[in-house]
Amino acid sequence: MSTAPQNAPRSSEDITREFAGRTAFVTGGASGIGYAVSALLAARGAAVAVADLDGKAAEVLAERLTADGGTAIGLAVDVTDPESVRVAVDTTVQRLGPLRLAVNNAGVSGAVARLADYPLAEWRQVMAVNLDGVFHSLRCELPAMSEAGGGSVVNVASIMGTVATMGGSAYVAAKHGVVGLTKTAALEYAARGIRVNAVGPGFIDTPLLHTVDDEQRAALVALHPVGRLGTTQEVAETICFLLSDRASFVQGSHHLVDGGYTAR
């Protein structure tokens, strides 16, 4: 099957509604990067399933997006549970239409400890959410997109899918795994008209960082040559580009959104 773009946007006016008529499924969609992605997809015309472990937060965001003129539903999903993911994807298709877009964003940070001292329960939790969760999601999304005639997936990896940091063995291993899954899925499903890519955010200014003190925040900022943290909107814009027909020849890639972190 050809993956050549159909009616690819040619102007900024086209881009404002580039996802009209397409259904999107976003895990971890009710907060942080997922929130920004859900909102941007809805604003650009997609019918969005906001899927989050916090089902109430997902419903609240969906109601807001609908009130703003978009189309959205909120779904409770536990990405560590294959059946929960299956039900969520099936519900998305039943209520919103054939699945064409997916963003696998759900994730946790985990403990900070040297590898030999890393708590086993924490290791298993990070792997279950950050790696197994993407696997479970892809297993449901890819067949649904095949039935729809094609689509595009973006997995949210991290700069830690390219480099490493001391004390983060579980997170680093999981995010490297996400990049590997992305490349494998891209190879396996390209002929079915499905593109699979990943993004690797640097440190992004989300509620997860609001608990750090000024000294810790300054240290994080210093790691980025641009001299600041990233915003969720900047990551969302990159994700939406990769989902769009404008990225029709982009396949199996890991795109860093890191303010120069990995260039140092």
Catalytic site residues?
171
| H/E element, 27 | strand 23-27
- Residue 73: strand pairing partners: 49
Half-sphere exposure for 186 (CA within 13 Å, toward CB): 21
Query: Rounded to the nearest 5 degrees, what angle is found at the Cα of 133, between the Cα atoms of 114 and 196?
Result: 110
What is the DSSP-derived secondary structure letter of residue 116?
G
DSSP string, 190-237: GGGTEEEEEEEE-SB-SGGGTTS-HHHHHHHHHTSTTSS-B-HHHHHH
Half-sphere exposure for 153 (CA within 13 Å, toward CB): 36
What is the DSSP-derived secondary structure letter of residue 130?
I
Q: How many residues does the chain have?
A: 264
